[in-house]
Chain A
Amino acid sequence: MSVSEQLRKLPLFRELTPRESEILKQHLRSRYLEMGEDLFLEGDFGRSCFVVLSGCIGVYKDMGRGKQERLAGLDGGAIVGHMALIDNKPRSATCTAEEKSVLLELGRAEFDQLFSARSPFAFKILDKVAMDLVIRLRGATEKLTEAKVDADNADTSNIARTAAELLAGYDTSDVDLDGIDLDQITVEIPDMSKRMNAPRY
């Protein structure tokens, strides 16, 4: 199977014509990571976004005092790192290969070029990216409503859960909450507020 055929199997690129997929291929670079190799680090400036082809990318957040919390594992078809290209804010988590992994990389310049092209091709990808973000926003809004209800009821166990979800879900998709032990989460507020009050573009 050719690379462009492979691309069209990914949900993100499913709507592309064979020709569009050929063009996209020319903008993408393959990245091969060995187990344990970092894709990018929390706090980095975002230079590119990635689509996972094979393997597994672990998403880790620094919880302070050198403690790292694993938030998610991303495998084939997942997109990662695109928010930083859209809103120009630093990476909110560290991504590390947990096994030998193959990714496709789209650089910031190509990403910008693609999205300023006003072509049907750009439109189709943008549509998918926008839908991905809407889902994340709806999730965040739901959490806000829950937090308000819980605050009114002084329902502490739910607030604890919402807090954990907030920390875990901050800027990452496909977060696996089941693996997180609420009692084990430690976070320094100065660290968190520094992150959250990061300057707006």
Chain B
Amino acid sequence: MAHPLQAFFSTIKLFSTLNADELNEILRGIQPVQLKAGDRLFGQGDPGDAAYVIQAGRVQIFTTAEGREIEIAVLEAGAVLGELALLDGAPRSASARAADDCSLFRLDKSEFDFLRRNLRPAAYQLIRAMTVTICDRIRDTNLDVAALMREDAPAVEEALPPTRSGFFKRLFRRD
């Protein structure tokens, strides 16, 4: 019998290339997580031990640098977060907390590692889908950096010593 969440998960890009059997294998390992608005999901530096899928509500991603919070993104229903941890288990590079009351699904790295170690097609398909979204995110992230620098161009140029302004004029020119 099809898993009750199969319909929801197959609409998510990361899972959309998995066939029904593969998706079921992944879904067997997931657990629901409920958060109240403001609850912390994970903190920067925490061990990367799971990926999450948002079913309802919004999750804010932020980092803390030099004592200030910097918002990176607000993710909505259908978004996947923390999935890089499934691959490398590295500490969280940012913190996540519920912006509203949220329903999430959690996929533990240990569950995923079990499938990965056993060379299960489900893990393989998920990694394959991840390589495509990672390429996408590499380009997106670079784009964001460029956009951010362009936004601040006037302030940056003002603060620049005259010899350097040429570089930024060229870099930030809008036309």
- Chain A residues close to B by CB (< 8 Å): 83, 86-87, 89, 115, 118, 120, 122-123, 126-127, 129-131, 133-138, 140-145, 147-149, 151-154, 156, 159-160, 162-163, 166, 169-171, 182-183, 185-190, 192-193, 196-197, 200
Contact = CB atoms under 8 A, between A and B. Distances in A.
A171 to B, nearest CB: 8
Contacts of B132: 86-87
Interface stretch (B6-14, B103-111, B136-144): B136-144
A interface majority secondary structure = helix
A85 to B, nearest CB: 10
A83 B133 CA distance: 11
B175 A145 contact: no
Interface stretch (B30-38, B52-60, B74-82, B86-94): B86-94
A138 B22 CA distance: 28
Given A137-B134, A138-B84, A196-B146, A126 B128 contact: yes
Contacts, number: 143
A130 B87 contact: yes
A126 B121 CA distance: 12
B49 to A, nearest CB: 16
Closest 10 interchain pairs by CB? Answer: A87-B135, A140-B141, A133-B134, A120-B119, A147-B145, A123-B124, A149-B65, A189-B173, A151-B152, A118-B121
A159 B131 contact: no
30 contacts: A87-B132, A115-B128, A120-B119, A122-B124, A126-B124, A130-B87, A134-B88, A140-B142, A144-B141, A145-B63, A148-B72, A152-B68, A156-B159, A156-B164, A159-B152, A160-B168, A163-B149, A166-B142, A170-B142, A171-B138, A171-B139, A186-B170, A187-B170, A188-B170, A189-B150, A189-B170, A189-B175, A190-B175, A196-B146, A197-B143
A183 B163 CA distance: 9
Interface size class of B (residues with CB under 8 A): 35 or more
B174 A189 contact: yes
B160 interface: yes
Given A133-B131, A145-B63, A145-B70, 18 more contacts: A87-B132, A89-B139, A126-B127, A126-B131, A133-B134, A133-B138, A135-B88, A138-B84, A145-B93, A145-B94, A147-B149, A149-B66, A159-B149, A166-B145, A171-B139, A183-B163, A189-B171, A189-B173
A80 B162 CA distance: 39
A162 B149 CA distance: 9
Contacts of A140: 137-138, 141-142, 145
A96 B10 CA distance: 43
B156 interface: yes
Interface string B15-56: 000000000000000000000000000000000000000000
B83 to A, nearest CB: 10
Nearest to A83: B135
A149 B151 CA distance: 14
A87 B136 contact: yes
Contacts of A170: 142
